[in-house]
Chain A
Amino acid sequence: MYATLTCVSFGILFVVVFLSTTRFMRHQIDDSVSSEIEEILAASGDRLFQGICGAVDGLSKHPSGFLYLLENTQGVAKAGNLPAIDPQQGIREWGTTGHGAPAEYAGLRGRGLVLPAGFLFVGWRTHQLLEMQEMIIGSFAWGLAASIGLAVAGGFIMSGRLMRRIETVSTTSRTIVGDDLEQRLPVTRADDEIDHLAVSINAMLDRIADLMRDLRQVTTDIAHDLRTPLTRLRQRLELAKRAEAPASAAAATFESAVVEIDSILGIFSALLRIAQIESRSRSAGFKVIELTALLDTVAELYRPMAEEKGHLLIETLPSSLRVLGESELLMQLFANLIENALRHSPRGSTVEIEARQIHERVNVSITDNGRGIPADQRMKVLQRFYRLEVSRTTAGNGLGLSLANAIAKLHDATLELSDAAPGLCVTIELPGIA
């Protein structure tokens, strides 16, 4: 395609150059021949035949490139270095064969001037013109050949490089699909479309790799968190199966087995609930919720438990705060946070629930003065099953904060953990109702 276009444009250029050069050269010849005639006539002074004859003779002896002919009225050559021809006024040109004229006229162009006493012709060899034409044709032919060659070769090289890069993308993709999710597409410094594509694909792969890691982590965590209670369960049942075990012991084993299984089922239902909430879109079923009343209810639910543990549960709530949401989920969100605060604080701690409206947002914070969470682990505790080493032994399945986070996200709310120095402050920022 490119080669064809190159040829066509080259051809047009050639025709233009060829024609204009030829025309220019012919003009040049005609002009110089005409001026030579003028000079001969001027040199002859009175324009008499004898005078012209002398001038032509003089000029013919010094080769200047011009060829001369002077004949008398009888058609006999009297001077010059060309044989006689039929006298014809004006410009004449003979091709390389001469067209019936004497051989000397082959490849000649000149002007004839019919004089009162004869005929004067001054000519100029056109071989220069022909050479020039040949040269132009030749150079254009070479040029054309070279440029076609270059175009084709360049095309091959360019498309070859393109093809190779695309091939690299697809082979790398195949490797990635195969097994190596860590591999990335090469990005050159060209910063072209293929590089942009590679960068986008790499970003996509990063995301997929992250998700895969999460999935693997969660799978491992589920396996780990379930294996422990299942192992305990198995041991107890095996013990109860032994013949010498008394019937009363078997009954106790069954009871504890049911408790153990319930905790396993609890992990599953929490996981399912998180998945269910995460997969939901911001629900159309949201209603206007009196957040103050809701927080009151949750605080009241936990107050006896807090007091039993010697904690102080303080509420700082405005008389009315309204948000859009699902009360059951919001209740669970705050219940989880309060429960976390109560559970992970040493006896006699203070847990404060504070809510206020800040412009269009509603800010709820639950602050304790317990151990807190180290800064580098604050994001991690929102992950499923993540538990601080220190809390491995306390009750809970490591899903409470993940669930709270999922509920917050569903409500377009943010959940932030910060240092209450000492202790942990969890802040939920919900969109308020204007």
Chain B
Amino acid sequence: MKILLIEDDAETAYYISQGLTGDGHHVDMEANGAVGLRRAVTDAWDLLIIDRMLPQLDGVSIVHTLRQRALTMPVLLLTTLGGVDDRVDGLNAGADDYLVKPFSFAELLARVAALGRRPPRLAVETTLAIADLEINLLDRSVTRGGAAVDLPPREFRLLVYLMNNRDQIVTRSMLLGNVWDVHFDPNTTVVETHISRLRSKIDRGHSPALIHTVRGSGYTLRAPP
């Protein structure tokens, strides 16, 4: 992916660009907000990563200006704050995701991957499938190897989210935010217990296992090639 990183703290910028380059992305860096906005509109980018606090022009204003000009490239906002209002402000301005510093590398990579591959969802897509797991979005039914799997609403949502991000790592905080709309960090075993429940219904007695735990990062729904 071709990524523009607008971040004024040199060390953070270096850390982020190293990590993303190592993951196979191409990263351009810019420290000034106004210059960053100019570069954002004059070139084609797959993703913008913008710090909230920047010299000359702050991150939220950049996002706002981009969206006003009908530029739809995905934007990930970074912040050191992390208050409720900050996140809401950022998302209202048109950012696609929001990450509070300090964040782990796994978190950043997972979110970048999710944003980069966010496909234009087709309205006609009514079934999702991986290996012998099938999800019907219309009647909200799930089958594994032809056998019906009974899932309560939240577990169904969890499975759909994993399915939409299949082959990618989704972190705990991504799951909490997208499945439960929880934007703080509760006891981490909360997500674990939900996943293990889902796993027991989807994977138990079936092969291959589809739900995998990625140590230190999160989870992924993946079928062996």
User: Which residues in A have some Cβ–Cβ distance to B below 8 Å?
Assistant: 255, 258, 262, 265-266, 269, 272-273, 276, 283, 285, 297, 300-302, 304-305, 308, 326, 328-329, 331-332, 335, 339, 343, 395
User: Which residues in B have some Cβ–Cβ distance to A below 8 Å?
Assistant: 81-85, 88, 100, 102, 104, 154, 180-187, 189-190, 193-194, 196-197, 216
Can you list 22 A-B pairs, Cβ within 8 angstroms, ordered by A?
A255-B216, A258-B216, A265-B102, A266-B185, A272-B82, A273-B83, A273-B184, A276-B81, A283-B85, A297-B182, A300-B154, A301-B180, A301-B182, A301-B194, A302-B190, A304-B194, A304-B197, A305-B193, A308-B193, A329-B84, A332-B186, A335-B186
Q: Which residues of B contact A328 (CB under 8 A)?
A: 84, 183-184
Question: Taking the nearest CB of chain B, how far is it from the CB of A198, in angstroms?
Answer: 42
- Contact present for B82 and A326 (CB under 8 Å): no
Q: Which residues of B contact A283 (CB under 8 A)?
A: 85
Q: Which residues of B contact A273 (CB under 8 A)?
A: 82-83, 184
Q: A11 to B118, alpha carbons, bound, how many Å? A: 102
Given the contacts A262-B104, A272-B82, A276-B83, A301 and B190 also touching, CB distance less than 8 Å: yes
- Contact present for B82 and A297 (CB under 8 Å): no
Question: Taking the nearest CB of chain A, how far is it from the CB of B43, in angstroms?
Answer: 35
**6 shortest interchain CB distances as A-B pairs:** A304-B193, A305-B193, A332-B184, A328-B84, A276-B83, A335-B186
- What is the chain B residue whose CB lies nearest that of A259? B216
Question: Taking the nearest CB of chain A, how far is it from the CB of B128, in angstroms?
Answer: 23
Q: Which residues of A contact B190 (CB under 8 A)?
A: 301-302, 304-305
Q: A308 to B187, alpha carbons, bound, how many Å? A: 14
- Contact present for B182 and A326 (CB under 8 Å): no
- Contact present for B82 and A269 (CB under 8 Å): yes
Q: Which residues of A contact B104 (CB under 8 A)?
A: 258, 262
- What is the chain A residue whose CB lies nearest that of B182? A331
Q: Which residues of B contact A258 (CB under 8 A)?
A: 104, 216
Q: A119 to B85, alpha carbons, bound, how many Å? A: 119
Q: Which residues of A contact B186 (CB under 8 A)?
A: 301, 332, 335, 339
Q: A89 to B100, alpha carbons, bound, how many Å? A: 121
Given the contacts A266-B185, A300-B154, A335-B184, A326 and B84 also touching, CB distance less than 8 Å: yes
Q: A214 to B104, alpha carbons, bound, how many Å? A: 33
Q: Which residues of A contact B185 (CB under 8 A)?
A: 266, 269
Q: A304-B190, A332-B186 are in contact. List 4 more A-B contacts (CB 8 A).
A: A258-B216, A300-B154, A304-B197, A305-B187
Q: Which residues of B contact A266 (CB under 8 A)?
A: 185
Question: Taking the nearest CB of chain A, how far is it from the CB of B14, in angstroms?
Answer: 19
Q: A331 to B182, alpha carbons, bound, how many Å? A: 8
Question: Taking the nearest CB of chain B, how far is it from the CB of A137, in angstroms?
Answer: 86
- Across the interface, A339 reaches (CB within 8 A) one of B88, B100, B180, B187, namely B187
Question: Taking the nearest CB of chain A, how far is it from the CB of B192, in angstroms?
Answer: 8
- Across the interface, B181 reaches (CB within 8 A) one of A255, A297, A304, namely A297
Q: Which residues of A contact B154 (CB under 8 A)?
A: 300
Question: Taking the nearest CB of chain A, how far is it from the CB of B224, in angstroms?
Answer: 26
Question: Taking the nearest CB of chain A, how far is it from the CB of B100, in angstroms?
Answer: 8
Question: Taking the nearest CB of chain B, how far is it from the CB of A299, in angstroms?
Answer: 11
Q: Which residues of A contact B183 (CB under 8 A)?
A: 328
- Across the interface, B189 reaches (CB within 8 A) one of A300, A305, A329, A335, namely A305
Q: A184 to B220, alpha carbons, bound, how many Å? A: 65
Given the contacts A272-B82, A304-B193, A305-B189, A335 and B182 also touching, CB distance less than 8 Å: yes
Q: Which residues of B contact A262 (CB under 8 A)?
A: 104
Q: Which residues of A contact B182 (CB under 8 A)?
A: 297, 301, 331, 335
Question: Taking the nearest CB of chain B, how far is it from the CB of A318, in angstroms?
Answer: 21
- What is the chain B residue whose CB lies nearest that of A308? B193
Q: Which residues of A contact B88 (CB under 8 A)?
A: 285
- Contact present for A297 and B180 (CB under 8 Å): yes
Question: Taking the nearest CB of chain A, how far is it from the CB of B106, in angstroms?
Answer: 10
Q: A316 to B154, alpha carbons, bound, how many Å? A: 20
Q: Which residues of A contact B184 (CB under 8 A)?
A: 273, 328, 331-332, 335
Question: Taking the nearest CB of chain B, how far is it from the CB of A31, in angstroms?
Answer: 101
Question: Taking the nearest CB of chain A, how far is it from the CB of B91, in angstroms?
Answer: 12
Q: A305 to B193, alpha carbons, bound, how many Å? A: 6
- What is the chain B residue whose CB lies nearest that of A276? B83
Question: Taking the nearest CB of chain A, how far is it from the CB of B60, in angstroms?
Answer: 16
Question: Taking the nearest CB of chain B, how far is it from the CB of A11, in angstroms?
Answer: 76
Q: Which residues of A contact B85 (CB under 8 A)?
A: 283, 285
Q: A276 to B83, alpha carbons, bound, how many Å? A: 7
Q: Which residues of A contact B187 (CB under 8 A)?
A: 305, 339, 343, 395
- What is the chain A residue whose CB lies nearest that of B88? A285
Question: Taking the nearest CB of chain A, how far is it from the CB of B56, in angstroms?
Answer: 26
Q: Which residues of A contact B102 (CB under 8 A)?
A: 265
Q: Which residues of B contact A276 (CB under 8 A)?
A: 81, 83
- What is the chain B residue whose CB lies nearest that of A328? B84
Q: Which residues of B contact A269 (CB under 8 A)?
A: 82, 100, 185
- Indicate the member of B104, B182, B216 with the most A CB atoms within 10 Å: B182
Question: Taking the nearest CB of chain A, how far is it from the CB of B217, in angstroms?
Answer: 11
Question: Taking the nearest CB of chain B, how far is it from the CB of A369, in angstroms?
Answer: 20
Q: A276 to B80, alpha carbons, bound, how many Å? A: 13
- What is the chain B residue whose CB lies nearest that of A255? B216
Question: Taking the nearest CB of chain B, how far is it from the CB of A383, in angstroms?
Answer: 21
Q: A240 to B95, alpha carbons, bound, how many Å? A: 41
Q: A434 to B104, alpha carbons, bound, how many Å? A: 45
